[in-house]
Structure formats: C-alpha cells, structure tokens
Chain A
Amino acid sequence: MSSMSSLGSQRRLKPESSMMGSASTYMFQKNLKDMITAIRAQKGDGSQKNFINKCLQDIRTEIVSPDVRTKAVALEKATYLHTLGFNMNWASFHVVELMSVSVNVKYKRVGYLAATQSFGDDTDVVLLIPNLLKKDLASPNPAEAALAISCLGNIVTPELSQTLVADVYSLLNNHKPDLRRRACLCLYKCFLRYPEALRPSFARLTECLEDDDQSVVQAAVTVLSELAMHNPKTYLPLAPKFYKLLTTSSSNWMTIKLVKVFGALTPLEPRLAKKLVGPLSEILETTSAKSLMYECIRTVVGGMTTQEKIVRQAVDKLKDMLDDQDPNIKYLALHALTFLLETHPRIVAEHKGNIFGCVEHEDSNIQYCALKIVRGLVTKKTLMDTTAHLMGAMGRAEQRFRDELVWSVVHVCMNDRYALVTDFVWYLTVLADLVQVPASCHGGLVGEQLIDICLRVEVVRESAVAILKPLLLDGSLLESTPANKTVPEALKSIAWIIGEYACFVTDHAEVIKALSNPSVTNLPAHAQAVYVQSLLKVYASAIPEAKLVPMTAELTAMCEMIQENLKPFKNSLHLEVRERSCQLSTILELASSAEDATLGRGTAIMEQFSLALSEEIQPVSHRAQKKVEAPAALGLSAPLSKEWDGLLLSSDDEDDEDGGAEGRKKRSKGSKSKPVTDLFTARKTKEQIAREEKDARKMLKSHREKQSMYYLGDDASGEKKKKGKKNRKGAAPEVEAAPEPELTEYMKQSYAGNASRPVIKGEDDDSSEEEYASEYQDAGAAARYAPKVSASDMHAGLGTYDPLAPLARGEDMPTVEAYPTYDPYENEGGGRSAFQVPERRERKHKSERKKEKEKEKKAKAKKAAKKAAKKEKEAAGEDASEDKKGSGKEKKEKKSKSSKADKVTEKLSKASID
C-alpha cells in the first residue's frame, strides 16, 4: 500500500467553503481522487482514521451545498468511505435529493449508487422515494429507468414493492427490450418482498418466455427458474415451456438455467426424466462448455438415475472430469459422484482408484468429498483394504482432515450395528492404532468403541486384553502433551477393560506396575479413578483359585508395590481418586494383617473380593426403563391434588394485584382459560419441544443482534457461555474456554453419537440422528452470513402462493387495467390496489381485520408524521442556510418539498384523528 501512496498527491488547498460562493466551492473542493490519494498518504491506522474523520467533517459541510456538483462529489466521497466501513446513514436525505436531480444522469447515478450501497429496510427515508422511483421508472430516458430498476432491485422493501410493483410490471410492455428484461429481473425481488404480487403478474411473466427478444426470454427464464428452484412442485406445469426452450435455446447461459430447473423438477416427476434423455444426451455429446456439461451431469445424477443409458454417458464424462488437472473440475466431478452413491454404487466403484487418490489431494475440498464417497463405497469385502488405505493417509494428512479420517474409520465400522465388520479382533487392532494417532480429537469415541466391542462380543475379550496391554504399559501415552490431547479418554476405557477382564491378564505384576505408575496422576480425575479401581480388580484376579493357600512372595511383593505407589493417589485433590485409593489401601492392609495372623486368611479375603468382582457386567439399554411397565395403581398423569389448582390460581391473582397491568395481561394470555393442571400434565410432543426451543433460540438470536454490545465474544460460543452462567449461578467463572475445535458436520454427528452411544445389543442409533439434526440447525443459526431477510426464507413465504392454481370461486384475477394509479399516500385511507391481498384469502373475522387496519393506520400515521416533522426540520434548516447564500432556484424546490411535507402531516394527522 505504501508504494501506491508515492503516486503523488494532488491535493488542492481547501478553502472555508461556507465563505465562498457555490461555484468556487466546487472548484476548490477535494474530489474523490484527491481524497483517496490523501487518505492513502496517511501512515498508520490511527492517523488514517483521524484523517478520514476529518474528511467526513468536510463532506458534511460540502453536502449541504446548493451546488449540485459539489453535492455530488461530496456524496461520492461518502459512498467511498461507506465501503471502508464508515456508515453514511446520516447522509440519506441528501442521497434522495441527488437521486431526484434531473439535469444530468451523472448526478442521478451518484445518488442512486449511494442509495444502492447504503439503503436498507431500516433506512427511514425509503418512505420518501416511491414518488421519485415511480417517476424515474416511467422516464422517457431509458438510462434513468434502468437506474431506477437496478436500485429498486437492491433496496426493495415490502412497502416499496407494494407501491411500485405495478410500475415495474408495466415496464414488461415497454417497447425497449432492454427495459423489459430489466423489469423481469426486478420483479423477482418485488415478489420476494411482497408475495401477493406474484399471482397477478405471473401470466405476463410467462408470456415473456415467448418474447421476440432473446435477452428478455433469458431474463424471464432466470426469474422463473429461480422461483421454480425453490418451490419446484408449484412450477411443474411450466415444464413443457421449459422443455421447448431447452430444445431451441442457443444461449449457453440460458441452457444452464433450464437444465438446472429440470434438475429440481425431475425428482418430482419421473416421466420428465424419460423425456429429457434426448436433449440432455445431445447436449452432453455436443457442447464444448464445461459449465453446461457439468450441469447436465448434475441433473442426470440428481433425478434421472432410472435412465441407465444416460447415466452411463454422464459417468463417462465424469471420468474425464476426474482426470482433469483443473481442481475445480475435479472437485465438481467428485461432488456429482456423491449423488450416485445410493443408486449406482457399482458405477461409482469403477472409479475407486481415482477417488482414493483424491483422498490425498492437497485441496481439502476434494479430500472431504472423496472421503465421503469412500465411506459410501465400503462393503464387507473392501472394509479391511479401505481402512488400511485411510490409516495410511492419516500420516500425511493435516490435523483437521486426520480427525475426519479417524472419525470416518470408526463410523464406517460401527455403522448399522457393525454390519460390515466380520473380524472383531482386527477391528480391535485398528482401534488400538487409532488411540495412538497423534493429536486426534476422537480419543473418547475410540475408547467407547473399545468398551462397546468388549461388552458385546464375548469372544474377543482375551484378545482385547492382549492387544490393549501394550498401550497401558506405554508410558509416553501418559504424558500430557498436545499430541496426547484426548488419549486419556481412551486410556480410561483401556484401564477399565483390563480391570474388568483381568482374568485374561497373564503378567499381573507388570500390569499393576503400569496401573499404579506415578504418571497416571497426569490424567484427568475420572480416568485416575478407573485406574485405581482396576488395580483392585487385577490384584484380586492374581489370587489363585485354590483354597486356603498361603500368600506367595509374588503376591506380597505386588501388594507392597501397590501400597507404595498408591501414596500420591491418597493425597489426590480429587475426591473420588482419594476415596478409592484409600479404600484399596485399607483392603490390602486388612488382607496382609490377616495373612500375618493366620497363613491363608489374607488370600481368602482377597478371593472373596475376586468372587464379588467376577460377576460380568451386562450392557443395559438406555431405553430399558421404558420397557418396565408402570403398576396400574400408579397414576402418573393424575394431578396430585385438585386443591392445589386453587392455590396456584389465587397466588396468580395476588401477583396480578401487585404486578399491575403487565401481570394482568400475562394472565389473560395464558392461564386464564386453562386450568393450571392442564399446563403441567399436558405432555409436549417432540415437535413441540423442538419448536419451542427453536423459538427461544430465535429470540435469543434477535436479542443478540440488537444488543450485541452486551454479549461476550462475537460468535456462537458467547451464547453458550451465557447460558452456562445462568445455570450455575454463583459458580466460579469458567476457566478454560478451550477453543472449540472446528467441527465438520460429520464430526458433529460423531459428537452427538458419542453422547447417546448405545450399550446393548440390538440397539440402533436413530436418536443420535435427531440430535445431529438439531445441532446442525444451530450451526446454520450461528453462521457468519446471516442477512436480515434472506432470500431462502422469503421463498418459504412465496411458496404458499401458487400462481398457477386455478381461480377459486368468487376470486377475480386482477388485470393490468386494475392496477392502481399511483399515489403513495392514497393507500393510507384503505384504498385497494390490485396487489393487495384479496380479503377472502386472509380468512379473518371482519372485526379482527378492522382492528388490524386501524392499528396499521395508526402506526403508519405515527411513523409518517415523525418523518414529516423531521423533513420539515431539515428543510427549515436548509432554508436558513439558503437565505445566506441566496440561491433562488434551489429555494423554490425546497419550499415545494417542505410544503408537500406539510400536506402529508395534515393528511396524516387527519387520518389519525379518524
């Protein structure tokens, strides 16, 4: 950047603008280039910011200038600074002023650009521009109309759409094709914000598909395909028209759009697939445009998988794409293959070599996509090979992808109740290897798998002990290094398995030494506790089963070793570790003193322990409780006492008296009509709970958006933190706030699966999927890109309007002639425009409607009155300054404006009195 600043600043001297005449202000004004050069000449963030603030001050004085050139330059500068993050909302009134300048499109353009960049739903001056836009839309100068259309397409609000959609619509009949196509595109945005407009305009819009001008057809296709992509079912009847265009289209761009629409339509209408085979196959053969070819392939693999011939053809093309050097093409080819996994796994499997190669591609997009396919392709036969391949890839992969690989291996094996695994000893060795994957974040998952396998598959327990023992003995795994991040979780499971199946341990002394290793204190408390418990189990199993034999020297040595090594555990800060180690030490003391008294007594005691511990632990389903039938006499759903209802109600009343109006309102909303017991006994369905949770989240989110400054942190973790704090009032502040690992969706699923990991045979994983779904939604909610009114949300609103549905009885389709003659304030009196919702559809009581109307009227009046007052004030201020300068022409304009504002206030105040 600094090198650029040497380009020479041609900064002119800036005079006190207020002292000069308007023309000289312009001459001495810094123009956009000067300002940018000067800003770039500032070194350092602080001085730059100061300088920009100074510039903003200058702009503020310049922008009120009566000279349109000065104003335009000032606004251009403000717009530039807006891109840098300096809000220009303060200038919105001047933006409107400049938009209405008609001497030269140049100034209009500056105004419109500023509006496009800075206006939004919450800009109040948007209420002032309908007249202006309307005038420009109908302007004889097509450049002006084009400007207005572009701008409207960007800043449209529901109100703007409602008042202007008719004007945009009438442009569909303009004799200039350029304006027709622009109007088409703009209509789409109008529909999104004001869905009622869709139905009356739809017929004319579809007519545009047959326009003489290709560019208009293209625009119409763009809009209709956009609508159809989001609500394909509604637009199925358009398929014949699209089909005709597909076979005649000469523009690749339009063909892509059409092919994409068919991609959305074919899954709904299988007969379409048959019809499409011809044209698509021709395009696949003849086109040289990769983009068009790819979209054809996508459509084929997405909804035409029943047509074997064309699937074959598409896959052949995909093969070339897979071999392509361009990573873009490679990625897209893989992406397309994922769609075929379900229906044509064999065809996908033909490209296995290539796909496996992609797992080790340097592009992570390609890696993830390839891995997804690999997971989908695994069969019983290929499981071992695939796993070996994935394990091999782990060494070379970077951290995040390595975690994904570990997760993939585990999930491929555990899926569908270990359907693919035939050799569980092999799986155990794989898991043992996975424990040692450095810096893996799935130690817990692997540990759970180990326990799960040992519990369920009896025959592998002996091998499990043999396989896992080296891991237990490996001291390096106990070190608390970043590479061993989640290893303790796995070690905990390993210690438990070795303790539980201690009968298979061969070298007890060695195992006991490992279990009581001083480095074990590095592990988290819950793992240490398991280690101590396992010590007892292993020691007890070392006692020979023969009756009443004296303790051997070996046993005594082991006992002494345990007592010695237990010392640090007995002083542990963690209660459970301390309790268990003290217990163990006492037991051992008890046994050895008994042994000292009578030979053989000690062993007998230990044998009793070993007997008590030898009972096998059976896995219990977390659903087992549900299977226990409640005794008939136990009325779980009956209210405890009817009297309590009264109690609760009366206390409610008391509250009301204290709480005043607010409390009363609450009561009238909720509890008045329903007995309290209903509220308690009514069981919430899952959907209900989910909905409530969603609503709560939404509220929290909107609150967060409004009050973001009061929230800690700037991402989703902030939300979680807050929740956590609320729950544990008074608890010590959370210490760690460990950086949340970036989760891919699969990993998230694994976490969910982790929490509800089944423990019993014949258990399936369906609950984890639900959790996954909800978590997945959260991710969406916390996303960085969250527009206030996202198009996808609006499509949901649009989807309820079926423009192709036949008219209901009594419903009239508004015609073009019925479109309102425009007066932005006319509607306030309740005048109906063709685009207003037909009353029949609202299905509301008359009284309700009336009430609503009144409310609306009041709110509108209030808002507009405020606006008008502001406008007046502003205009008055301007007047004053003008008096000084004495520019007659501008004055007149201002006056007319302010008088208009007066009129508005008059009218509105009248309305509100009414």
Chain B
Amino acid sequence: MIKAFIVVNNHAMVRLCRFYEQLGVDKQADLCQTVYKMVTGRPDHLCSFVDDEKTFGPDTKLVYRHFATLYFCILSDRSESELAMLDLIQVYVETLDKVFENVCELDLIFNSPKAYTVLDETIVGGLVLEINSQKVIGVYEELMKLEKAQASMLERVTG
C-alpha cells in the first residue's frame, strides 16, 4: 500500500501532499520536511530509493523522482514494487503534463485542486487505481465536461 504521496520543491515548499494513513497536521509537515531533507541530500545520479528504518519505521520505503524543480516522493510498504512506484510517478507527471499542457511548478501551485483530482484518479485510498495516463486523462476530461454542462444548466435555470 502507498502510505503517502508528497510533492516538494527544491526549497522545501510542499506543493502537494496526500497521506493514506492518518497523520496529524504537524506530523504531516514534519514528515514532509524529513523527506525533503532526505531527497535533497542525495544528488541526482544516486539511486531513487531510501530504506531508512530509523526514520520511517519498519516496512516503509521512500521512492522519489526529481523533475526540474520538484521532487515527487512516494512512501510505501513492502507490497509495492520499487520500480513500479517509479513508473507510477512517471505516469502521474505525464498525466499532469497533458492536463496542464507543459506542466511546471506554477501549475501545481495555482491549480492544486486539479492536481489532486488527477491524483485521485490514479490512487484510491493508497491503492493504485489506474496506471495508464491516457485513461486517467479520459476520466478527467469527462469530469470537466460534466461540470461545464452542469454549470451551463444552472445558469439557464437561474437566468
């Protein structure tokens, strides 16, 4: 199971975070900072996995990927494959890239609800829902269409 999905930038600003196990707000912030320190301490040419039982407790590993100014990090347990988690990050970023058209950090800052929606179409409650970015985009576009239709209908009703 995936335990947390965190996107943090080069300057320790959390851009997106979702915790699939319950964690207090202060603990969440604490964990994000710990993860940030851990990933920024590792140059890009090192491997993207961190197994640190002292920090994360037993059966928790960190898989991350660095894209431009952002680190995409996943905390998961042993039942998730490390390389598959890397793929998952890739899929998520690809999807964002298509949804936002050339995604950059600013998109995540100003449109975080959108990014969360995409995340919810990829992971449900810590389990992977969809690994195909085309399908995620399909679902997302459907949702937007529906919202537009409902909005125009509302306008017609209210005049």
Interface residues in chain A, defined as those with a beta carbon under 8 Å from any beta carbon in chain B: 1, 4, 7, 32-33, 36, 76, 79-80, 82-85, 87, 103-106, 109-110, 113, 116-117, 120-121, 141, 143, 149-150, 152-154, 156, 178, 181-182, 185-186, 188-189, 215, 219, 222-223, 225-226, 229-230, 253, 256, 260, 290-291, 294-295, 327-328, 330-332, 362-366, 742-745, 779-780, 782-792
Contacts and interface: CB of A to CB of B under 8 A. Distances in A.
A342 to B, nearest CB: 19
Nearest to A785: B56
Given A785-B55, A791-B21, A222 B128 contact: yes
B126 A791 contact: yes
B156 interface: no
B86 A328 contact: yes
A79 B111 CA distance: 12
B125 A150 contact: yes
Interface in B46-62: 46-51, 53-60
A332 B117 contact: no
B interface SS class: mixed
Given A185-B124, A229-B78, A365-B49, A253 B84 contact: yes
Contact of B81 (A85, A103, A110, A291): A291
A154 B82 contact: no
Given A229-B79, A253-B128, A104 B46 contact: no
A153 B55 contact: no
B46 A365 contact: yes
A792 B128 contact: no
Nearest to A792: B59
Interface centre among A103, A366, A788, A790 (most CB of B within 10 A): A790
B53 to A, nearest CB: 6
A153 B79 contact: no
A256 B125 contact: no
Contacts of B27: 786
B113 A110 contact: yes
Nearest to B75: A785
A308 B153 CA distance: 68
Interface string B56-94: 111110000000000000010111011110110000000
B83 A783 contact: no
6 contacts: A182-B124, A223-B127, A328-B82, A365-B47, A784-B31, A786-B57
Given A79-B113, A84-B14, A149-B124, A105 B84 contact: no
Contacts of A143: 142-143, 146
B103 interface: no
Nearest to B41: A364
A789 B21 CA distance: 7
Nearest to A157: B22
Given A83-B16, A113-B113, A291-B87, A104 B49 contact: no
Nearest to B148: A106
A332 B82 CA distance: 9
Given A110-B113, A181-B129, A331-B49, A787 B21 contact: yes
Given A104-B147, A332-B49, A783-B56, 19 more contacts: A83-B16, A105-B143, A109-B117, A109-B147, A121-B22, A143-B142, A150-B124, A185-B127, A188-B127, A256-B81, A328-B82, A780-B53, A783-B53, A784-B30, A784-B57, A785-B55, A786-B57, A787-B21, A787-B23
Interface in B113-142: 113, 116-117, 120, 124-131, 139, 142
Nearest to A781: B57
Contact of B154 (A80, A85, A104, A225): A104
A791 B117 contact: no
